[in-house]
Amino acid sequence: MRMIVIILSLMIFSVAAKIERNISCFASKNNKIKLKYVVIYDDGTALGYVKYSKSISSVPLVFISKTEGEVEGGRPVERILTWLEVIDGKLNGKYEVMSQGARYYSFIYKGSSGNGFSFNEDVDAYNTDRDDCIWK
């Protein structure tokens, strides 16, 4: 029995070791809309969601594309991720997220009706471990 518990623990640990989770905090330019952006990488697959600060539920994201570009001067690669949001089982708006290294330089949402919002990374919203957003 003890051996089964050890084997199961090792299996769970090895599965968990492959999963990487990145959390980022964003606020609209007027600071009225705040959201947490979460990307989970599991064995080469990207899964994502956003959670708005005033919402009790998350909005699932479907990964569409990744564009990468070299930057001169030995700087980190510029990366643009594109996601579609799923609301009530239907594809709705689109998120485009541009990062370079550990920094986010652009986070844009465009709704299916054409309305859009631009967000900036809110570096003051991270908790001490940088694994959650604390909205003030």
- Rounded mean pLDDT of 105-122? 92
- Rounded mean pLDDT of 100-120? 89
pLDDT of residue 13: 45
Q: Is the dihedral of CA 79, 106, 23, 114 positive or negative?
A: negative
Using an 8 Å Cβ cutoff, are 23 and 119 in contact? no
pLDDT of residue 65: 92
78, two tokens: 């510029």
List the beta bridge partners of residue 90.
Answer: 87
pLDDT over 80 (residue 70):
no
Q: Which residue has the higher pLDDT, 24 or 19?
A: 24
Using an 8 Å Cβ cutoff, are 118 and 130 in contact? no
pLDDT of residue 69: 78
> What is the 3-state composition of the chain as percent helix, strand, coil, each rounded to the nearest 5?
15, 55, 30
Cα 69 to Cα 76: distance, rounded to the nearest angstrom:
9
